[in-house]
Amino acid sequence: MFKLSKKTEYALMALQHIASLDKGQVATAKEIAENKLIPHSLLAKILQQLTRHQLILSLQGAHGGYALGRKAEEITLAQMIEAIEGPIHIIECNESRYSCQRDDFCTLKNSLNPLQKQLTSYLHSVTLADVAAS
Amino acid sequence: MFKLSKKTEYALMALQHIASLDKGQVATAKEIAENKLIPHSLLAKILQQLTRHQLILSLQGAHGGYALGRKAEEITLAQMIEAIEGPIHIIECNESRYSCQRDDFCTLKNSLNPLQKQLTSYLHSVTLADVAAS
DNA sequence: ACAAAATAAGACTAAATTAGTCCGATATAA
DNA sequence: TTATATCGGACTAATTTAGTCTTATTTTGT
Ligand code: FES
Ligand code: FES
C-alpha cells in the first residue's frame, strides 16, 4: 500500500504536539496519548524511536518527558517518516541489501526512478515547522 | 510502508511488456510470467484486474491473450497503481468511508494534504508511454 | 531511604494485509 | 472435440503492522 503506517501517523501527531510546546516545557507520553487518542504503550515505543533518531530528546525520571531535539525548521518530513519506517523506497529492489533475480533484465527500477526522486526531494523540503503550521 | 506492493510491481511489468507489442499482437499470461519471472496464477489474477479496469483488453480462448485497452499515452501511472491497490490516500483518514474518532480535533489530515496533492498530481502526469520508454 | 512518576528495552500476541495457490467454468481456434 | 486461453472465486501461507506486557532504570520530592 502506498500509505503511511499508523505508527507513522502517531509519530507525526506527537511531533506536532511537542512542537507546539513553549520553550523549556516537556510533554509526557501519557499527556500526548490522551490528547491525541493514541494507545499509551504504543506511543511510548514510537517516542523512544524518535529519541534514538534524535528528532526529540527525552528527560527521564519524574517530571520527565519529551522536547524537540532541534528547531522545527530543521526536522524534515523525510526524517520523521524514515525514523519510523526506515529508508523510503518506492520499490523493494531499490533497497541496497536486496538482491533481485530480475536485476539484469528489469526495466522497472529505472522507470520508477523519477517518481522516487520526485517524492524524496519533496519529503526533504517539508519541515516540521510547515507540518505544525496547518 | 510507503512502497508499492509486489502485485503492483507485477502489474507495471506486465503493462510494460504489453505496451511493447506490435499492433495486433497479444501476449498471454504465460508468456509474460515466464519473461518477467512472475508466478503464473498470480499474474493471471492481476491481468484480470487490469482488464476489469479497462487498462488492457483480453481475448479469450485459444490464441487469446492481452493487448492495451487504449494508447499508452492515455494510461496514467495513477490508473495503473489504483487498478491494483485502490484509491491512493497517504493517510487512512482521507478515505471517504473511514470515520475517525479524531476527526474534530485532528490537524494531521490538513497538514499532509499538500503531500497528497503533490503525489497524485505527479502520478496523473506520468503515462505508460513514459514508463515503457526507459 | 524511599515512593512516585517517568522513560528504556525487549519479548510477546493479535490482527490485518499481502502473496500466492488451486479449482471449476467459460470461451475460442483448429 | 481437444487444446489453449481467460474468468472468478475460495482458499492458504507468509509477512507486516498494531498493540500489549513486563522488568529495569532514571529522576524528583518527601
Ligand atoms: S524487480 Fe528487481 S530489479 Fe526490478
Ligand atoms: S487521524 Fe483521523 S482525522 Fe486525523
User: What pLDDT does B96 receive?
Assistant: 61
Pick the atom of ligand 2 nearest to B93's CA.
2
* Residues A59-96: tens digit of each pLDDT: 999 999 999 989 999 999 999 999 999 999 998 787 66
User: What pLDDT does A134 receive?
Assistant: 75
User: What pLDDT does A96 receive?
Assistant: 62
User: What pLDDT does A65 receive?
Assistant: 97
Cα–Cα distance, B3 to B55 (Å, whole number) = 22
Task: State the residue for C-alpha cell 495503473.
Answer: B80
CA dihedral A42, A45, A49, A54 (to 10 degrees): 100
Q: Which residue from A7, A18, A6, A8 is spatially nearest to A128, judged by alpha carbons? A: A18
User: What pLDDT does A95 receive?
Assistant: 64
Which residues are paired to B76 by β-bridges? B127
* Residues B58-84: tens digit of each pLDDT: 999 999 999 998 999 999 999 999 999
CA/C1' separation A8–D23 (Å): 27
Task: Cell numbers for B48, please give them.
Answer: 484480470
Cα–Cα distance, A9 to A35 (Å, whole number) = 14
Do residues B57 and B26 make contact, with C-beta atoms less than 8 angstroms apart?
A: no
Identity of the amino acid at B37: L
Nucleic acid strand C within 7 Å of A101 CB: no
DSSP H stretches of helix in B20-133: 29-36, 40-52, 77-85, 108-125, 128-133
User: What pLDDT does A83 receive?
Assistant: 97
With a 6 A CB cut-off, is B93 part of the ligand 2 pocket? yes
Report the run of H or E that residue B58 belongs to, with start and end: strand B56-59
- Domains of chain A are 6-133 (1.10.10.10)
Output the tens digit of pLDDT for each of chain B's 134 residues.
Answer: 789 999 999 999 999 999 999 999 999 999 999 999 999 999 999 999 999 999 999 999 999 999 998 999 999 999 999 999 999 999 878 666 667 889 889 989 999 999 999 999 999 999 999 999 87
User: Which of B89, B106, B107, B111 has most ligand 2 atoms within 8 Å of CB, for mutation?
Assistant: B106
Q: What is the mean pLDDT of residues A30-45?
A: 97
pTM of the model: 0.94
Cα–Cα distance, B106 to B42 (Å, whole number) = 39
State residue B70 phi and psi, 5-degree precision: -155, 180
Q: Which residues contact B70 (CB under 8 A, 6 or more apart)?
A: B54, B55
pLDDT at residue A53 tops 70: yes
CA/C1' separation A58–C1 (Å): 27
Helix (H, G, I), strand (E, B) or coil at A79: helix
